[in-house]
Amino acid sequence: MTTQTQRIVITQTGGPEVMRYEDAVLPDPGPDEIVVEHTAIGLNYIDVYFRTGLYPAPNGVPFTPGNEGAGRVTAVGGEVTGLQAGDRVAYVGPLGSYTRHRIIKADIAVKLPDTIDDETAAAMMLKGMTARYLLRKTFDVRDETTLLFHAAAGGVGLIAGQWAKHLGATAIGTAGSDEKCATALDHGYAHCINYVSQDFVAEVARLTDGAKCDVVFDGVGKATFEGSLDCIKPFGLYASFGNASGAVEAFNLGVLSAKGSLYVTRPTIFAHIATRALLEETANDLIDVVSSGAVKIPIAQRFGLSEVAEAHKALEARTTIGSTVLLPNG
């Protein structure tokens, strides 16, 4: 039985105006697939990268953006086990979540417990699992760790601050306003630097008595790269996981030796959930810390799916705080 739905389609890359809201028809799911009726869809900065063409869509245009959603299963393929119609699920997957209904492979869906509501699930999966791989896999954050996290008041940043505090670390954040810094301080950060009015390199040196940080987590990119290297102690790590200000350009590797034999890495979430076992390990860890109350998922903005252009404008203008969700019925 086919499904009538609505979705966002991009036929050429560009500004927010290239996203078009249209009617569509879904076929039946394949043998290993399920149909999910979204109740909430996660908005992430990576969506902007695909919309603008910074990251080319794997299958070219046209495409539907979005990698994250939550809702209920409405149909299952003949070979699917462990899921049935009516189950509540969330997922991070390939492009295509900006839609009311979606067909996905059953093995990327994670069943939701009663302790996690749909909006929270849609807001936390990609950002929360990103925070998890950064703090638990990219660098093993512990109680003796001092870290710097750029864009601390963003969706990933607010989750990471709470999680880092839960692990016993001292987290220093940066943000673009006093208001955002106040929000970061309410979500686990021991200190927050307003990079508009303060030199974050000098402030990190002051806050650490010159010892600097064990690791810098940077989703901003070009604008913060050089300064970040000056915030890391010898043998420390710079972890780049996003390019909100533009991609980091090629640089002389000799800079890393001159600044203390530093390490640099560029991890991605999809490498950390590439198998079902890795997905379950990552998602279960996230669900546990959220269910326990150690990490709360702040949703500060909600937009209807048809209002997605306004959501992207707000995201790019950096006026959003915490997580944003798109509501298919909104």
Q: Are residues 260 and 226 in the same domain?
A: yes
**Judgement on whether residues 28 and 107 belong to the same structural domain of the protein:** yes
Length of the chain: 330
Q: Which residue, of 266, 283, 315, is where some domain finishes?
A: 266
Tell me the pLDDT tens digit for each residue of 120-146.
999 999 999 999 999 999 999 999 999
Per-residue confidence band for 330, with pLDDT thresholds at 50, 70 and 90: low
Whether 315 and 209 share a structural domain? no
**CATH number of the domain where residue 247 is located:** 3.40.50.720
Whether 131 is in a domain gets the answer no
Q: Does the residue 43 lie in any domain?
A: yes
Q: Are residues 189 and 105 in the same domain?
A: no
What tens digit of pLDDT does each residue of 182-191 get?
999 999 999 9
Judge whether 321 and 183 are in contact, CB under 8 Å: yes
Q: Are residues 45 and 102 in the same domain?
A: yes
Say if 137 falls within a structural domain: no
Same domain, 158 and 114: no
In the predicted structure, residue 212 carries a pLDDT above the cut 80? yes
In terms of domains, do 261 and 288 share one?
no
Q: Are residues 207 and 290 in the same domain?
A: no
Are 149 and 78 members of one domain? no
If asked whether residues 147 and 262 sit together in one domain, one would say yes
Could you tell me if residue 130 is inside a domain? Answer: no
Measured CA to CA in angstroms, residue 284 lies from 40, 125, 132, 320 at distances of 20, 11, 10, 27
> Is residue 72 within 8 Å of 37, Cβ to Cβ?
yes
- What does the mean pLDDT of the chain come to? 96
Is 136 among the domain residues? Answer: no
User: Looking at the domain assignment, is residue 132 inside a domain?
Assistant: no
**Together in a domain, 309 and 206:** no
In a domain, 169, yes or no: yes
Domains held by the chain: number: 2
Q: Give 68: exposed, middle or buried? Use CB within 10 Å, 0-12, 13-18, 19+.
A: buried
How confident is the model at residue 180, as a pLDDT? 95
Co-location of 201 and 308 in the same domain: no
Domain-terminating residue out of 225, 249, 266 = 266
Last residue of a domain, one of 240, 266, 292: 266
Q: What percent of the chain has pLDDT over 70?
A: 99
Confidence category of residue 1, pLDDT binned at 50, 70, 90: low
For residue 296, the domain's CATH number is 3.90.180.10
100 within domain boundaries? yes
Domain that holds residue 17: 3-125+272-327
- 91 pLDDT exceeds 90? yes
